[in-house]
Amino acid sequence: MVENETANRKRDGVRSLNRGLAILRQINAAGEASAGEIARATGIPRPTVYRLLETLEEEGYVSFSPTSNRVRVTRLAASLGDGYAVTSRLCQAAGRLFGQYAPRIVWPLDISIYDNAAMVIQETTHGRSPLSIDRGMIGYRLPVLRSSAGRCYLAFCEAEERRLIVEHIRRLNDPADGPYLEERYLRPMLADVVHRGYAVRDSGEFRPRTSSVAFPVRSGGAVPACISVIWIRSVMTVPQALASCEAPLREIAAGVAEALDESGGAMPSDAHSV
């Protein structure tokens, strides 16, 4: 009887370990996921997924987003493989700071990274901002030339990367990007962003109802991400937005950069897909 109980406990332990590893692999492959998505992808019952996620969080291998119900691997888990270490650090730092500053700014905040001719939102307060007109924005892809985050990244990234990104966008040949690729627009726009220290979208491009500004996160001589705030154009002008948001946005960008520097620095410039 005792031997049977011992064998059963061992089988249960192995089964739990296998399921925990399956959950980690799924999160690592997806970058971030909800418990429901993990359950559907792995076939593990949702209550079990929640229980194992709690254990993995207690042990420091995953962390829940402060602004959504999604979970990501931590640096500890990413250190076991090549994972999403830098993105995870970005999101953890931004999520903590967004939680601190969201009551002050109110309008939705985003942190986005460059990936394959787009800026991809990694963390956001859209889901809890009372002024947001969007939901489910994590993973949303923003056009480089028609978003403040994209313009910000393009202006502050290294010259060779900028050249490759612009060439890539030209090859994609999206008609909506055409006017913004003309040299008479592109060069002055990038120069203006560098001069100001931030990028603006306020001419009805991409999303006509809204405007936005974006500030670079600078870490280790690179720009791993951009911080943005978005608002309804009819409610507030760019000068009004900057009057209330510029200082806290700069503080958030500096805070994210400091967190990256303390934990080992930003991703190398060739880590992005051009």
Domains along the sequence of the chain with CATH: 2-78 (1.10.10.10), 85-271 (3.30.450.40)
- Nearest-angstrom CA–CA distance, 65 and 183: 40
SS3 129: coil
- Nearest-angstrom CA–CA distance, 7 and 168: 58
Name the more confident of 144 and 272: 144
* Amino acid 41: pLDDT: 94
Query: Taking a C-beta distance cutoff of 8 angstroms, is the pair 230, 211 a contact?
Result: yes
Residue 210 confidence (pLDDT) above 70: yes
Strand pairing partners for 121? 112
Residue burial 117-128, b: 16+ Cβ < 10 Å; e: rest: bbbbbbbbbbbe
* Amino acid 99: pLDDT: 85
Extended strands (E) in the chain:
33-34, 62-64, 70-73, 109-114, 118-124, 141-143, 199-201, 210-219, 222-232
Residue 79 confidence (pLDDT) above 80: no
Residue 152 confidence (pLDDT) above 80: yes
Mean pLDDT of 200-204: 91
Stated as kind and residue range, the H or E segment containing 88 is helix 85-105
* Amino acid 123: pLDDT: 87
Residue 178 confidence (pLDDT) above 50: yes
Q: Edge-to-edge strands of the sheet including 62-64?
A: 33-34, 70-73, 62-64
* Amino acid 57: pLDDT: 86
CA distances from 63 to 51, 60, 77 (A): 14, 7, 10
Place 105 in a pLDDT band, splitting at 50, 70 and 90. Answer: confident
Residue 257 confidence (pLDDT) above 80: yes
The amino acid present at 94, given as its one-letter code, is A
- Nearest-angstrom CA–CA distance, 25 and 55: 15
Give which of 147, 150, 101, 158 is closest to 124, Cα–Cα. Answer: 101
Mean residue pLDDT across the chain: 85
Cβ count within 10 A of residue 270: 8
Residue 261 confidence (pLDDT) above 90: no
Q: What is the dihedral of CA 91, 92, 95, 97, to 10 degrees?
A: -120
* Amino acid 269: pLDDT: 43
Mean pLDDT of 254-267: 79
* Amino acid 89: pLDDT: 79
- Nearest-angstrom CA–CA distance, 23 and 192: 46
* Amino acid 134: pLDDT: 64
* Amino acid 78: pLDDT: 59
pTM, entire model = 0.68
Query: Taking a C-beta distance cutoff of 8 angstroms, is the pair 90, 122 a contact?
Result: yes
Task: Give the whole-number percent of the chain exceeding pLDDT 70.
Answer: 82
Strand pairing partners for 123? 111
Residue burial 219-240, b: 16+ Cβ < 10 Å; e: rest: beebbbbbbbbbbebeebeeee
Lowest mean pLDDT among 4-13, 72-81, 138-147: 4-13
* Amino acid 48: pLDDT: 94
The token duo for 222 is 């690179």
